[in-house]
């Protein structure tokens, strides 16, 4: 399998759990920004603590920092008029990725969404993970939550920050440029950006030459169509002791399922922490038909119940010779792995992997319910029918898009 990630050992990486840890770190970085802030998110909601992030963007723009915000046309929709006006007056430049238009999601090409959550400050500091701009205790569809949403992000410095910055800059140009700008100004912009990124990289290497080994792994519909899934499969194939995956929308394709089953068959302990609460029909029911083969192979499935599990993380062999961990936006389902723009950070560092592992084990032990294979096999007929209907609809949707999974 060819290389799927460009690793460098010049990083400082910090694990952040929930908006309660991410938003203060992010707003602190924005308040210290000197030149530019690049921000992409699937959901930008202004309720509760989400407003803190919006206020930080406005403060930065008001003092002259170039501030770019990209939100997804499905996940976010129209911004509230008051916030639109405030951002525009401050100088925050906002773009909507793939607005739906009159036919909405009836057009299959509209299923390709911007699902990554990235924020780069001054080209040197990056935040990446699964956390939207959304208060931990609030859900747009269900209102106030009894317990905080379970999710993670990382804060990192190093060469992957420059890579994230370049990726976001190119998307920004593609979204806003008219034909003459694309033909005449974009090549020069790319050259300037690459030069700036190289300079930032050199400065960061000088400062963090003994840092953590990490990489940014992207998924798009051009050059990086399968890199995140391949990164998972390679790490699972190399596992020797244990695998823990926490994933919100879990419907792995055949290759990924076989990799997990083979790992379990060779004696690796495989534990999955998955969504236990009903959120969406497809997400809840389409996942369940794949559980049977995993349970039969000895894979442990734990369902998270206190609140919505939104994490997209994994840790493998944290205490072994080759620890591996990932935190990002990509679910292990067809929408993330075949259609959406996603971003994950992969970290090969024992201390980071152990920290993440401890948090996931605690969640499984104190907030999860282990699925009993007999109970799964004996679930009511109505539920099994709904599971199969959802699974069939998902396969039909993939056929419409021309994808195999």
- Active-site residue list: 115, 117, 122, 310, 312, 317
CA dist list (Å): 68 to 95, 100, 111, 124: 8, 21, 24, 16
Closest CA to 292 of 268, 261, 255: 261
- Compute the distance between CA of residue 295 and CA of residue 289 in angstroms, rounded to an integer: 11
What is the phi-psi region of residue 402: left when phi exceeds 0, alpha when psi lies from -120 to 50, beta otherwise?
left
Handedness of CA 143, 149, 154, 155 (dihedral sign): positive
Closest C-alpha among 300, 341, 345, 298 to residue 324: 345
Q: 114 has which bridge partners?
A: 341
Q: Report whether 218 contacts 167 (CB < 8 A).
A: yes
Cβ–Cβ < 8 Å for 394, 251: yes
Tokens 């995993």, located at residue = 294
Strand partners, 69: 39, 94
| H-helix segments, 12-158 | 18-31, 50-62, 81-90
d(CA 208, CA 210): 5
């Amino acid at each position: 399998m060819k290389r799927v990630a460009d690793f460098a050992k010049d990083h400082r990486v910090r694990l952040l759990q929930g908006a309660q840890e991410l938003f203060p770190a992010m707003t602190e970085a924005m308040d210290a920004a000197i030149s530019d802030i690049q921000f992409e998110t699937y959901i930008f909601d202004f309720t509760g603590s989400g407003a803190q992030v919006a206020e930080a963007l406005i403060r930065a723009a008001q003092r002259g920092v170039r501030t770019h915000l990209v939100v997804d046309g499905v996940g976010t929709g129209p911004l509230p008029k008051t916030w639109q006006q405030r951002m525009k007056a401050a100088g925050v430049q906002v773009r909507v990725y793939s607005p739906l238009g009159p036919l909405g999601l009836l057009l299959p090409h509209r299923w390709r969404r911007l699902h990554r959550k990235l924020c780069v400050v001054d080209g040197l500091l990056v935040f990446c993970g699964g956390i939207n701009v959304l208060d931990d205790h609030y859900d747009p569809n269900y209102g106030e939550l009894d317990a905080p949403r379970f999710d993670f992000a990382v804060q990192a410095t190093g060469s992957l920050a420059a890579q994230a910055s370049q990726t976001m800059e190119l998307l920004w140009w593609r979204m806003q440029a008219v034909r003459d700008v694309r033909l005449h100004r974009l090549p020069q912009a790319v050259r300037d950006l690459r030069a700036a990124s190289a300079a930032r990289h050199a400065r960061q290497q000088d400062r963090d030459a003994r840092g953590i080994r990490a990489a940014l792994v992207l998924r798009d519909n051009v050059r990086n169509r399968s890199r995140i899934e391949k990164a998972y499969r390679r790490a699972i194939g190399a596992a020797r002791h244990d695998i823990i995956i926490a994933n919100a929308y879990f419907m792995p394709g055949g290759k990924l399922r076989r990799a997990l089953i083979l790992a379990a068959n060779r004696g690796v302990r495989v534990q999955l922490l998955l969504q236990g609460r009903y959120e969406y029909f497809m997400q809840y029911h389409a996942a369940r038909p794949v559980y049977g083969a995993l349970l039969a192979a000895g894979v442990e499935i734990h369902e998270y119940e206190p609140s919505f599990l939104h994490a997209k993380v994994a840790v493998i062999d944290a205490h072994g010779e080759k620890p591996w961990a990932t935190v990002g936006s990509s679910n292990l389902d067809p929408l993330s792995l075949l259609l959406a723009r996603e971003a994950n950070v992969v970290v090969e560092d024992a201390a980071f992997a152990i920290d993440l592992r401890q948090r996931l084990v605690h969640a499984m032990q104190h907030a999860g319910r282990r699925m009993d294979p007999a109970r799964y096999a004996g679930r009511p007929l109505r539920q099994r029918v709904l599971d199969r209907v959802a699974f069939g609809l998902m396969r039909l949707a993939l056929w419409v898009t021309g994808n195999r999974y």
